[in-house]
Chains A and B, each alone.
Chain A
């Protein structure tokens, strides 16, 4: 299988990437690690006319500590996130979850920005940045803007990114609580999660329980009201609209969410 024909352009800087995307118009896509986009293009589910390769913008590959938060460049690959000493000590949830994405080959290519911009509700990192209350920094032809993670995901594979806009940085407030956990169930290591859970302190976010990653509001409210892990976990599926597909019927996913949230809250409490 090969993708439909397209024009390949390679950007050397962020400015050049924005210019190339603006020139190419609405049918352009940014190519980061390519491990979400290329499979879709090979299946002809995505048919961009122009690919703007941003994979070599080393200026967007970094993890650095700032005052009260950690800045992660959008082109940092999963493997680098998993091995980052800064992340492991300040935001271990993200380092750990990045090490669980796909398989080593995928983690060598795939990037955090690519994963977020692709917005697959079954992907791990969208729920993780939601649990971390991250802010996403976006650059476009008109300048820069910042969007909270809970306002970034709009629907299945849809985000607030307009054509020509580029996600450049993920800004993560240093967690106030040390407790965290990431749990997911996959059939094989390389598969997407049937259901996943990211917990940071009292924030709980779910993978693949709707058309976007979602906060488990029922669980968070129960925790805030003083409920224990197992009582709070009983609310894991409240208000969700989990997919019903070959990987599992909705009722199974709802059950799984309750089980995984329970485990995640216990693990998080043990780390706090």
Chain B
């Protein structure tokens, strides 16, 4: 079927098999490989993207379900001028990663959280990232990064 998705502000259209998953559409059709396939069972969150502004696991969404809708991946967070998104900057500043595999999903889940709750508590950050697994960091620096991004966006 013909699927047309607005990805990071630009239209991506392709004829794909009905069973094509959104994550494969993003990686193989749109050529955007920040979005990783981790567990492939909607547990780990490495494939998290924003669908109409809300975080979803793109390994469990059909490309057809995103037809005509708006998707943002990690590549779409910065405007291309070299300036990183505040959440990306905070992950770098707080070293919220080690191997980096979970990072795009962590960042997208964090962006979704901060759009729903701009000044979360530490507990709220930890709860909001329940759907994203990191096997390296023990989460502490990730949580610090999200809190830092929140306070940067809302200077006291």
Contacts and interface: CB of A to CB of B under 8 A. Distances in A.
Interface of B: 1, 17-21, 24, 40-43, 45, 48, 51, 54-57, 60-62, 64-65, 67, 109, 112-113, 127-128, 130-132
B64 A103 contact: no
A42 B1 contact: no
Interface of A: 1-8, 10, 31, 34-35, 38-39, 42-43, 51, 53, 55, 79, 102-106, 108-109, 188-190
Contacts of B112: 104, 108
A195 B60 CA distance: 25
Contact of A2 (B24, B43, B57, B67): B24
B131 A102 contact: yes
B64 A10 contact: yes
A5 B67 CA distance: 18
A16 B20 CA distance: 24
5 contacts: A5-B19, A42-B60, A105-B45, A105-B55, A109-B57
B62 A109 contact: no
A8 B41 contact: no
Contacts, number: 85
B65 A104 contact: no
B109 A4 contact: no
Contact of A103 (B18, B20, B65, B131): B131
Nearest to A43: B41
A2 B19 contact: yes
B129 to A, nearest CB: 8
- Which of A6, A7, A42 has the most chain B CB within a 10 Å cutoff? A42
A104 B113 contact: yes
Contacts of A2: 19-21, 24
A190 B43 contact: yes
A3 B131 CA distance: 22
Contact of B65 (A4, A42, A55): A55
Contacts of B64: 8, 10, 53
Contact of A38 (B48, B62, B131): B62
A8 B18 contact: yes
Given A8-B19, A103-B132, 5 more contacts: A39-B60, A104-B109, A104-B113, A106-B42, A189-B131
Nearest to B48: A105
Contacts of A79: 54
A196 B18 CA distance: 37
A31 B54 CA distance: 19
B45 A42 contact: no
B41 A42 contact: yes
